[in-house]
Structure 1
């Protein structure tokens, strides 16, 4: 009897152990998930790119194409990924392997895209961190022209008269030209930012927009040496990321309470302060004044589609990963609507903040608004620091602003890294059991390779990664996602899955969007992206041919996993070619453990039943067992 009791106890204990191993971690609170998704979706581009696009594309009129693209493409894709991740409850690789085994490569593709994105994105966070440390000074380093890095054209509007700092080897003629023509000015904040990136500057009389490397200077083929101040900032960024992610969502879900909410506090403070500045209303007028004639051209529609897609962020595997930790019955529809609305409103709010500051700076410089704004990330590292430096208590404003930029970046970095960690650990249990070591190894590798981006010519690598590793590959990946869900897995089956979770069947609008409008939306982005594609350049610097080839190879290195994995799956699956494809197009989701469980792979995946005649004609016994349920 005692032996039987021991056996029963052992069986129960073993059963509990297996159940605890299979149980999936869930978010501690619903708000942890919402803040994580909002933090990922709201990034630096919301602060600089959306306001610029509004200004460039008809001001307030730009909201018409933006909202239309949001409704027919952005939100449906965002909702689709969240719902799919919550239903399958696995990371990207395993998720797509179960939804459609033939296209399991989609999961590898999106994980690779997130992998490449983290390489350059964390360097931008390191810039923010460097500016943050530099702000701990009574006199901010970008407020004067008396530094060793300043150019002869440096103009300091803080002084009572124009000042051009001229080095000893410059001629009097150059000085006269600088004073006579203010369009040749450069400003201390611009010069500090370019010095930080260690670009060798052109000879003289260069405006911030045309500031280029000198002949024989650094480039993609001549990176120079590592800038150790930036390298240390990059190391600190990865240390922060590691201790935020090493324990999983239980840790990162708490960190985002600060990193996701703090930017809104700063934005609201800057908005209140900005609208009180002289000239701010002129800037806001440029931002919201509608020009409906702009909508008659194609540019606003293309820019709106691109901004919506890259702002919400489908295709990185992040939404799948975050949603996979939700409880099965979570109302994912409400989450998608809330986070999409917050993302949209944040972009619009940022526009008021940005243009209030730009209007003020234009007034200080006695220039037009269009001469101050720029369409690159340098806007937040040059225009903002310069404007904030003129305010009373400039050190405080600078600290707040760059801490905001850092937190905006960290949230998005957390998401990209979690997509990789969840995607790989769900596919390989050994990695899931050793998460801390895997995350450590991942970030050490990131840092080791990423040092190339903090060299004297590292900006050129960063620009190439940003241009090629994401722009086209993510569009292709999401196109395959929508086609798989809508046309292979079945849009009606997907709607039923959502009803299982939420009790509400998505209506005909969602069906039309997922099946027709969203794929058209993505193909529209791909077509115009390729149509407008130009060889890689950075200002007047033209990348060599080999760099463009390497860039396209980077883009292909993630997309290629879709056909490669499909071919491998076909080779591995038994049966005739027709039987193999039929089996691999069959979803492998036989049971869903609601609550803390996950969609489990069936021991014998049952595809569609075949006719007796078809089954008799199958030559392989194993194929008959798999395909005909015999």
Structure 2
């Protein structure tokens, strides 16, 4: 007998009420045909690419590539993308497209006992990410607004009277603007401080933009994505062309891609590469499932998985080229400034009689701006140790090794490089507009991962989707005010590093295990074959069951061990020394951090226990029903009714109404003579389906 599809939504509710009965025997099916869909494949691609390509591609991937061996890290990243990233991405695409529901509906169908996975994703993990991610958009809006002035406000240190502000003089103009003007940051997370008015207003603007883009669902968000998904590529190519015309760009890119094969033996490098693959594709958020649920059933989601993953990787490489071309220029300028400064100091020492004439360089030190860097470094190597003051060797590689990521790259290092470009306000506005659009596309996907599952699950929310969207954005803004305090950036770091990482990994481990082992990889491939008309390669079976699952378990173990063995720390700003320092989280912050992780995971065990209790109650109810209908349990009636049930089930694929056979229960909605409320023991021996095809 052909395996039967999952029941429709009303029937699946009845199945869930059974406490998970039949979870071994259910198959993938679709939502009703009335579900909204994409107007074109281009819209879908823009949405999926816009969600997966985010800020991490620009400010996280280049840093990891730089710190972990350049070209060697790229090879490792591609390997993990092929054996973990793409298979799991394909799994989520196929599940969403086949069932045509959000993550809650998907897991209620695949495994009702683990339906908590869907709630964990949308109600907690996605919401946590949306809270702090929109704060980053608020920061981008703040910098974008400050880009429309000349000179840029972070180009020079402010002065008090005739003296440069001490905090700026001890650090740099861009660091001072970021920590003091933008964030007005406290010295630690223990010092709460007041709300930052400018950031509050920018956060309100960010949530307003998200709300306007989402309040009519994908019909409105996709219109914004035509710009927000394409514009960043225009900016990246503009920066790439401009960057390669700068002095030092080639050296920066060469330094970046210099291979270090020894990194393959470092466990931490593997952990970082796997984590980047995981977050770059957006696995575990539920947004992939939500977006693919609007696709037609015959859409080639296998090709989509490869296409989106390839675009994501190439975008990361493009962003890396841009970042290191610009940082190479910045390093070259700083090295040249270093040579000028040291030469002037050397001349002053010579004029005051502290340096002998024999130690003076052969180059024209009277014009310090014309001194060649190589000439200076050659002289320093020979005589630098004999100079009575500590002069720097002005090494280009040392400047490039000062790797920065995240906000440090975007709001400090990159802004410093931009400020040295001709027409700096234009390039600054372009850069932060790009960051804003990258973040918006990801936010649209994150919000869809929240809204779609809940509106699919609860009819009252579906009937009031616009109001629910507005309410969600208002709630997000209200809670997000936590991040607009003077210590708010420390909470952003906490949420980014811990509240989402571990829960997302756990969710994907459950997802992979449930599909490949509980539901069955072969059955899942059968469902995809029925949906697409062709069977995916058998290698996916082994990737899902072993390689991808073991890879995610390894990542989970490495992340957990790292959190347990080393007390979590965060980077703080010391106002007195004007330097970045690492501090340990206080006990209350660790309690908050632990609570966030527990709350994010709580729906999974709660849903499982609830399903077991419902299952127990249902079994007791069935035992009583057998006694009530024992009068009709004759051999003749049993044969007749079992035959009708077999005929009904054999016609299931051609039926317009739902018809299925679950654990110890045969039901047929096509034949009114068979009472669907009577357990199949009433008709004789139970009819059961299995994962394998069998004759009836």
Q: Identify whether the pair has TM-score above 0.5, normalized to the shorter chain.
A: yes
Displacement, 1:147?
Answer: 5.6
Structure 1 residue 243 corresponds to structure 2 residue 209: no
Match of 1:448 among 478, 481, 490: 478
Local SS of the residue matching 2:404:
coil
Q: Distance in 2 between matches of 1:520 and 1:191?
A: 45
Displacement, 1:608?
Answer: 4.3
Counterpart of 1:118 in structure 2 is: 130
Local SS of the residue matching 1:541:
strand
Is the alpha carbon distance of 1:239 and 1:21 closer, same or farther for their aligned partners in structure 2, counting shifts above 3 Å? farther
Structure 1 residue 102 corresponds to structure 2 residue 113: yes
Q: Is contact 1:259–1:410 with CA below 8 Å preserved after alignment?
A: yes
Q: Is contact 1:36–1:260 with CA below 8 Å preserved after alignment?
A: yes
Match of 2:457 among 413, 417, 427: 427
Counterpart of 1:572 in structure 2 is: 614
- Mapping of residues 136-535 of structure 1, within 5 Å: 136-146=148-158, 165-166=164-165, 185-200=170-185, 213-214=186-187, 219-366=188-335, 368-533=398-563, 534-535=566-567
Displacement, 1:298?
Answer: 2.4
Structure 1 residue 557 corresponds to structure 2 residue 590: no
Cα displacement string for residues 450-486 of structure 1 (whole angstroms, at most 9, x for unaligned residues)? 1110111111221221122111111110111011111
Is the alpha carbon distance of 1:623 and 1:130 closer, same or farther for their aligned partners in structure 2, counting shifts above 3 Å? farther
Is the alpha carbon distance of 1:497 and 1:274 closer, same or farther for their aligned partners in structure 2, counting shifts above 3 Å? same
Cα displacement string for residues 259-300 of structure 1 (whole angstroms, at most 9, x for unaligned residues)? 011000000010011011111111111111112122233232
Q: Is contact 1:536–1:543 with CA below 8 Å preserved after alignment?
A: yes
Match of 1:606 among 646, 661, 683: 661
Q: Is contact 2:664–2:680 with CA below 8 Å preserved after alignment?
A: no
Q: Distance in 2 between matches of 1:101 and 1:592?
A: 22
Displacement, 1:302?
Answer: 1.9
Structure 1 residue 127 corresponds to structure 2 residue 96: no
Question: Which consecutive unaligned segments of at least 5 residues does structure 2 have?
Answer: 1-30, 336-395, 572-581, 624-648, 667-676, 689-696
Displacement, 1:39?
Answer: 0.6
Q: Distance in 1 between matches of 2:303 and 2:293?
A: 16
Displacement, 1:191?
Answer: 1.2
Displacement, 1:501?
Answer: 2.2
Q: Distance in 2 between matches of 1:259 and 1:442?
A: 22
Q: Distance in 1 between matches of 2:412 and 2:651?
A: 55
Cα displacement string for residues 142-179 of structure 1 (whole angstroms, at most 9, x for unaligned residues)? 1001267x9xxxxxxxxxxxx98255xx9xxxx9xx7x
Is the alpha carbon distance of 1:265 and 1:295 closer, same or farther for their aligned partners in structure 2, counting shifts above 3 Å? same
Is the alpha carbon distance of 1:625 and 1:265 closer, same or farther for their aligned partners in structure 2, counting shifts above 3 Å? farther
Q: Distance in 2 between matches of 1:559 and 1:625?
A: 41
Displacement, 1:196?
Answer: 4.1
Displacement, 1:29?
Answer: 0.9
Is the alpha carbon distance of 1:164 and 1:268 closer, same or farther for their aligned partners in structure 2, counting shifts above 3 Å? farther
Cα displacement string for residues 425-456 of structure 1 (whole angstroms, at most 9, x for unaligned residues)? 00001111111100010011111111110111
Structure 1 residue 51 corresponds to structure 2 residue 20: no
Counterpart of 1:157 in structure 2 is: none
Structure 1 residue 60 corresponds to structure 2 residue 71: yes
Q: Distance in 2 between matches of 1:623 and 1:245?
A: 47
**TM-score, normalised with respect to structure 1:** 0.82
Match of 2:588 among 520, 538, 546: 546
Is the alpha carbon distance of 1:405 and 1:601 closer, same or farther for their aligned partners in structure 2, counting shifts above 3 Å? farther
Displacement, 1:488?
Answer: 1.3
Q: Is contact 2:664–2:679 with CA below 8 Å preserved after alignment?
A: no
Q: Distance in 2 between matches of 1:601 and 1:536?
A: 55
Counterpart of 2:93 in structure 1 is: 82
Q: Distance in 1 between matches of 2:422 and 2:53?
A: 29
Q: Is contact 1:98–1:601 with CA below 8 Å preserved after alignment?
A: no
Local SS of the residue matching 1:538:
strand
Is the alpha carbon distance of 1:292 and 1:122 closer, same or farther for their aligned partners in structure 2, counting shifts above 3 Å? same
- Number of residues paired by the alignment? 547
Displacement, 1:21?
Answer: 8.6
Q: Is contact 2:328–2:400 with CA below 8 Å preserved after alignment?
A: no
Q: Is contact 2:665–2:681 with CA below 8 Å preserved after alignment?
A: no
Is the alpha carbon distance of 1:592 and 1:407 closer, same or farther for their aligned partners in structure 2, counting shifts above 3 Å? farther
Local SS of the residue matching 2:662:
coil
Question: Which is greater in Rg?
Answer: 2
Q: Is contact 2:159–2:165 with CA below 8 Å preserved after alignment?
A: no
**TM-score, normalised with respect to structure 2:** 0.74
Is the alpha carbon distance of 1:592 and 1:286 closer, same or farther for their aligned partners in structure 2, counting shifts above 3 Å? farther
Local SS of the residue matching 1:143:
coil
CA RMSD, aligned part only? Answer: 3.0
Local SS of the residue matching 1:140:
coil
Structure 1 residue 33 corresponds to structure 2 residue 33: no
Displacement, 1:377?
Answer: 2.8
Local SS of the residue matching 1:606:
strand
Question: Which consecutive unaligned segments of at least 5 residues does structure 1 have?
Answer: 1-19, 151-162, 179-184, 201-212, 581-588, 612-619
Local SS of the residue matching 2:493:
helix
Local SS of the residue matching 1:397:
helix
Q: Is contact 1:283–1:369 with CA below 8 Å preserved after alignment?
A: no
Q: Is contact 2:142–2:182 with CA below 8 Å preserved after alignment?
A: no
Q: Distance in 2 between matches of 1:125 and 1:623?
A: 58
Local SS of the residue matching 1:314:
coil
Local SS of the residue matching 1:456:
coil
Q: Is contact 2:252–2:400 with CA below 8 Å preserved after alignment?
A: no
